[in-house]
């Protein structure tokens, strides 16, 4: 089964992808994460994409296609894709080469996304994510797993979040429309507990 998860930042895409992969053994592919890996390893591609990412711009399609196609082929028809496609040409590229079974839209109002992102904390040691509203650590400010310090992501401030939310709508509306017309779109209310959202997804993709 090949699934795409679409949702505004803060809608819980990462959590839902994790739950689906645990349940079905699928592979979670996130383009942002693939790029960050390349940057960390200082690969040729990493050097090129870093400049775009640091400026907050989309990486040009030709580099995105390279990295995504390789990852999707390796997943052998069992992937949960997030962060891609982000525009119509990426969408066309994807559906030409791969079968997509379902596209899940985690629907969350902008003001709720803002509230959640402002409450998000990340462990500065292991990267695990928390939320001071609904996913609190056992000891305030400390990671449950490694004891690392919980910090805010640099781009989780009101101005940067607003920008990301605007960009999400600008980029992704055409992608949502494309899959809606194809009859592949499943819209789920993301203002529910992660477990409830997961059960609804499982019900719909059966
Ligand atoms: P994200 O973690 O999804 O916010 O992605 C981080 C950055 O990686 C984005 O701001 C873009 O610069 C780049 N990126 C991720 N996915 C794509 C994509 N599908 N197309 C172009 N650029 C992307």
C-alpha 7 to ligand 1 mean position (Å):
13
- Region 184-190: mean pLDDT is 98
The residues, any chain, with a CB within 8 Å of residue 158's CB and separated by 6 or more, are: 114, 118
Instruction: Tell me whether residue 77 is one of the annotated catalytic residues.
Output: no
Predicted pLDDT of residue 154: 77
Instruction: Tell me whether residue 120 is one of the annotated catalytic residues.
Output: yes
> Looking at ligand 1, which atom is closest to the CA of residue 35?
8
Question: Percent of the chain beyond pLDDT 70?
Answer: 100
> Looking at ligand 1, which atom is closest to the CA of residue 164?
4
The active-site residue, picked from 50, 86, 142, 204, is 86
SS (H, E, C) the chain: CCEEEEECCCCCHHHHHHHHHHHHCCEEEEHHHHHHHHHHCCCHHHHHHHHHHHCCCCCCHHHHHHHHHHHHHHHCCCEEEECCCCCHHHHHHHHHHCCCCEEEEEECCHHHHHHHHHCEEEECCCCCEEECCCECCCCCCECCCCCCEEECCCCCCHHHHHHHHHHHHHHHHHHHHHHHHCCCEEEEECCCCHHHHHHHHHHHHC
What mean pLDDT is reported for the chain?
94
**C-alpha span between 16 and 195 (Å, rounded):** 9
User: Would you say the CB of residue 58 lies under 6 angstroms from ligand 1?
Assistant: yes
Ligand 1: which of 7, 49, 83, 155 to mutate, judged by most atoms within 8 Å of the beta carbon? 83
Output the CA angle 126-127-133, nearest 5 degrees. Answer: 125
Instruction: Tell me whether residue 153 is one of the annotated catalytic residues.
Output: yes
Ligand 1: which of 58, 60, 163 to mutate, judged by most atoms within 8 Å of the beta carbon? 58
- What pLDDT digit, counting tens, does each position of 122-146 carry? 999 998 889 999 889 999 999 999 9
The active-site residue, picked from 23, 66, 97, 153, is 153
- Region 70-90: mean pLDDT is 94
Q: Model's pTM, two decimal places?
A: 0.88
């Amino acid at each position: 089964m090949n699934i795409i998860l679409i949702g505004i930042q803060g809608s819980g895409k990462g959590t839902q992808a994790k739950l689906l992969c645990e349940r079905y053994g699928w592979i979670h592919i996130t383009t942002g994460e693939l790029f960050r890996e390349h940057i960390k390893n200082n690969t040729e591609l990493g050097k090129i994409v870093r400049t775009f990412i640091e400026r907050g711009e989309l990486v040009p399609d030709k580099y995105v296609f390279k990295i995504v196609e390789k990852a999707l082929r390796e997943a052998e028809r069992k992937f949960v894709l997030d962060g891609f496609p982000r525009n119509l040409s990426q969408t066309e590229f994807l559906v030409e080469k791969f079968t997509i079974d379902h596209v899940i839209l985690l629907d969350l109002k902008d003001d709720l996304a803002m509230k959640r992102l402002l409450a998000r904390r990340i462990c500065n040691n292991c990267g695990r994510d928390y939320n001071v509203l609904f996913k609190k650590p056992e000891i305030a400010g400390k990671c449950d797993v490694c004891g690392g310090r919980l910090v805010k992501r640099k781009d989780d401030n009101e101005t940067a979040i607003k920008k990301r939310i605007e960009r999400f709508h600008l980029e992704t509306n055409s992608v949502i429309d494309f899959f809606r017309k194809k009859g592949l779109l499943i819209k789920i209310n993301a203002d529910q507990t992660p477990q409830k959202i997961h059960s609804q997804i499982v019900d719909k993709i059966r």
